[in-house]
């Protein structure tokens, strides 16, 4: 089984795909409540608790862990240096936890490489997260999204979708290694 993670300091997307690339688990861990998680350390502690809970069921089943590579460069209109630094720190903390808890060295895959491995093309001018979500809705019969009262996907929908794409890309990469 492959564990795929889309790590951010607000919502962590989590997916496990089985040895046939079927979805075993697709969920998210919401870290946005500033009262419950006032610092990066509080968020990390919550993720650690969630990973340990996951390990109670899947500790011996996880063959590999794939994590979305954090952004490394600036892009106009996107994250600041502070945000990129915080995200990279959190990604490192969670990566270490994965290693300690599951005994597997995580591997990293960029979002664009993961999408390419899954056959997803993002047309110029369209938002990748929306394209990924629509791709899953169109191609994954059992994939479900929850919506707000206004008919928009709930915020964690994109993180869950991204973690699924990371897990599926990880599955493909593992299959390629075996050949």
Q: What is the pLDDT of residues 33-80, one digit of tens each?
A: 999 999 999 999 999 999 999 999 998 999 999 999 976 554 545 557
**pLDDT band at residue 142 using 50, 70 and 90 as cut-offs:** confident
CB contact at 8 A, 46 and 37: yes
What are the residue ranges spanned by the domains of the chain?
2-178
Give the mean model confidence (pLDDT) for residues 149-170. Answer: 95
3-state secondary structure of 166: helix
Q: Residue 143's pLDDT is what? A: 87
Nearest in space to 15 (alpha carbons), one of 56, 68, 85, 69? 68
Domain 2-178 sits in CATH at 3.30.420.10
Can you spell out the DSSP letters for 144-161?
---B-TTSPBPTHHHHHH
CB contact at 8 A, 41 and 93: no
Sheet containing strand 107-109, edge to edge, reads: 23-30, 11-17, 2-6, 64-68, 107-109
Average pLDDT, the chain: 91
Q: How far is CA 178 from the centre of its chain?
A: 24
Give the mean model confidence (pLDDT) for residues 154-167. Answer: 95
Q: Phi and psi (nearest 5°) for 147?
A: -120, 155
Q: Residue 179's pLDDT is what? A: 73
Distances in Å between the alpha carbon of 138 and those of 11, 95, 119, 165? 24, 31, 13, 14
């Amino acid at each position: 089984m492959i564990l795929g993670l889309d790590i951010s300091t607000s919502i962590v997307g989590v997916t496990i795909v089985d040895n046939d690339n079927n979805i075993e688990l697709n969920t998210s861990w919401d870290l946005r409540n500033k009262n419950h998680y006032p610092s990066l350390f509080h968020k990390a502690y919550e993720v650690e608790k969630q990973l340990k809970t996951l390990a109670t069921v899947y500790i011996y089943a996880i063959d590999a862990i794939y994590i979305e590579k954090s952004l490394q460069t600036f892009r106009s209109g996107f994250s600041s240096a502070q945000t990129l630094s915080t995200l990279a720190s959190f990604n490192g903390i969670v990566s270490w936890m994965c290693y300690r808890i599951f005994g597997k060295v995580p591997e990293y895959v960029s979002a664009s490489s993961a999408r390419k491995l899954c056959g997803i093309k993002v047309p110029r001018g369209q938002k990748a997260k929306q394209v990924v979500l629509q791709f899953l809705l169109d191609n994954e019969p059992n994939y479900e999204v929850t919506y707000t009262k206004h008919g928009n996907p709930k915020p964690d929908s994109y993180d869950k979708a991204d973690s699924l794409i990371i897990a599926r890309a990880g599955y493909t990469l593992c299959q390629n290694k075996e050949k």
